């Protein structure tokens, strides 16, 4: 049996009053405009405490899944923090599906992991994205295989790279995984973040909604709340780990994706647009290779052609009838991207 654990560690969080607020996320990653409309996102974690007011305006489904905990709460606090961070970055997500793999401890094993993946794969037609802020300490091929199957089924997953500073473990090691490492508010890699080939986001001393029965993180005094935290209400904690960089990137990806009117659900061979945009426009953290291509610059990723939105300017590249790629009714823009006729593109993706 291969044991997996959450990608958070209380010892990584400083004891002073400093924390990364929701406003800091917006400023650091240059986030302008937030979405997620029409998307269903699963959170594969320790559960979600829906009593926190950040969940008041979103539908949270907590299905009973064979082989998984069914307490419909979060006694760790990790899943609530991740789901809450996701909503801070994409507040208009339509539905969250709670897929609990951890019970009262932040560790689990093969049977729970397999049961969760099987549920996600079986319900892939209902899901758009999934957050995975957990992992094994090293590569474990059975998890990588399951992860590739999930992505192949058409569900986009964002995965935490890990907190070892040396190696990344499954499922972040799978071929199709989009793995996220963690940086600090002053734009440096954290000393403990596992490396990634993809992108980096804020992951140290992150302020997040708290589960009322959770034991993870350090409480934030209400006197220190920022305006956004006060507006949302509830209790808040701060914690560190690639666990929390992960839903940050997924939240940005959900907002980015909701701008796009073309449905690629049945075309898993299509390169995910946000992945390419985040990579192409990332800010490099000099002096390290651990950051992948750098940390996400959201506004630059959206404004790929001096203000043109994603729906107007991007590259759609995919295998097609034996060819390497196609561009459907596309005009080349000055920066090398393409302006695509989305109606014709959508027609080409209709499954017989």
Q: State the pLDDT at residue 344.
A: 54
In the beta sheet, which residues pair with residue 306? Answer: none
Q: Tell which residue, 262, 264, 267, 297, has the closest CA to residue 279.
A: 297
Quote the DSSP letter at residue 259: T
3-state class of 344 per DSSP? Answer: helix
Q: CA-CA distance, 149 to 41, in Å (whole number)?
A: 17
* All structural domains of the chain with their residue ranges: 4-302, 305-352
User: What CATH class is the domain 4-302?
Assistant: alpha beta
Q: State the pLDDT at residue 351.
A: 42
Exposure b/e, 192-220, CB count within 10 A at least 16 = b: bbbbbebbbbbbbbbbbbbbebbebbbeb
Q: CA-CA distance, 220 to 66, in Å (whole number)?
A: 36
3-state class of 200 per DSSP? Answer: strand
Q: State the pLDDT at residue 6.
A: 67
Beta-carbon contacts of residue 44 (< 8 Å; ≥ 6 apart): 99, 101, 116, 120, 130, 131, 132, 134
Is residue 127 within 8 Å of residue 97, measured between CB atoms? yes
Is residue 131 within 8 Å of residue 101, measured between CB atoms? no
Q: State the pLDDT at residue 295.
A: 97
Q: State the pLDDT at residue 341.
A: 55
Q: State the pLDDT at residue 312.
A: 36
CA angle 145, 247, 223 (to 5 degrees): 155
Pairing label, strands 218-219, 236-239: antiparallel
Q: CA-CA distance, 73 to 136, in Å (whole number)?
A: 24
> From the CB of residue 57, how many other CB atoms can be counted at a distance below 10 Å?
10
Burial class, 352, CB count within 10 angstroms (exposed 0-12 / middle 13-18 / buried 19+): exposed
Beta-carbon contacts of residue 54 (< 8 Å; ≥ 6 apart): 84, 87, 88, 209, 232, 234
Instruction: Kindly give the confidence (pLDDT) of every residue in the chain, 352 residues in length, as a single tens digit, with 9 standing for 90 and above.
Output: 566 766 666 556 655 568 999 999 999 999 988 999 999 999 999 999 999 999 999 999 999 999 998 777 898 999 999 999 999 999 999 999 999 998 877 678 889 999 999 999 999 999 999 999 998 888 889 999 999 999 989 899 999 998 887 778 889 999 889 999 999 999 999 999 999 999 999 999 999 999 998 988 999 999 999 999 999 999 999 999 999 999 999 999 999 888 754 444 444 434 477 888 898 899 999 999 899 999 999 999 888 633 343 343 333 444 333 333 344 444 444 444 445 555 555 554 444 3
Is residue 160 within 8 Å of residue 193, measured between CB atoms? no
Quote the DSSP letter at residue 124: G
3-state secondary structure 294-305: CECCHHHHHCCE
Is residue 130 within 8 Å of residue 155, measured between CB atoms? yes
Q: State the pLDDT at residue 110.
A: 86
């Amino acid at each position: 049996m291969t044991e997996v654990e959450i990608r958070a560690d209380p010892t990584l969080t400083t004891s002073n009053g400093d924390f990364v607020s929701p406003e800091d996320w917006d400023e650091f990653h240059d986030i302008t405009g937030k979405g997620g409309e029409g998307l269903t996102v699963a959170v594969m974690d320790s559960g979600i405490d829906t009593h926190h007011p950040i969940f008041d305006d979103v539908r949270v489904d907590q299905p009973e899944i064979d082989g998984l905990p069914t307490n419909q709460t979060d006694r760790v606090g990790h899943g609530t923090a991740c789901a809450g961070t996701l909503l801070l970055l994409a507040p208009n997500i339509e539905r969250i599906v709670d897929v609990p793999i951890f019970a009262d401890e932040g560790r689990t094993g093969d049977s729970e992991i397999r049961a969760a993946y099987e549920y996600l794969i079986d319900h892939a037609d209902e899901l758009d994205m999934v957050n995975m802020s957990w992992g094994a300490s090293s590569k474990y091929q059975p998890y990588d295989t399951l992860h590739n199957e999930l992505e192949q089924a058409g569900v986009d997953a964002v995965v935490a790279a890990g907190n070892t500073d040396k190696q990344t473990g499954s499922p972040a090691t799978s071929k199709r995984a989009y793995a996220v490492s963690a940086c600090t508010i002053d734009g440096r890699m954290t000393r403990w973040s596992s490396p990634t080939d993809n992108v980096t986001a804020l992951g140290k001393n992150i302020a997040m909604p708290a589960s009322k029965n959770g034991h993870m993180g350090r409480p934030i005094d209400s006197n220190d709340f920022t305006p956004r935290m006060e507006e949302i209400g509830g209790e808040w904690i701060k914690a560190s780990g690639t666990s929390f960089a992960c839903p940050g990137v997924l939240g940005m990806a959900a907002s980015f994706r909701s701008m796009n009117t073309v449905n690629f659900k049945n075309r898993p061979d299509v390169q995910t647009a946000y992945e390419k945009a985040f990579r192409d426009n990332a800010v490099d953290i000099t002096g390290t290779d651990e950051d992948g291509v750098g940390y996400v610059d959201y506004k630059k990723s959206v404004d790929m052609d001096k203000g043109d939105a994603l729906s107007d300017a991007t590259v759609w590249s995919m295998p097609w009838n034996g060819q390497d790629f196609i561009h459907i009714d596309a005009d080349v823009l000055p920066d090398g991207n393409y302006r695509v006729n989305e109606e014709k593109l959508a027609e080409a993706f209709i499954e017989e």
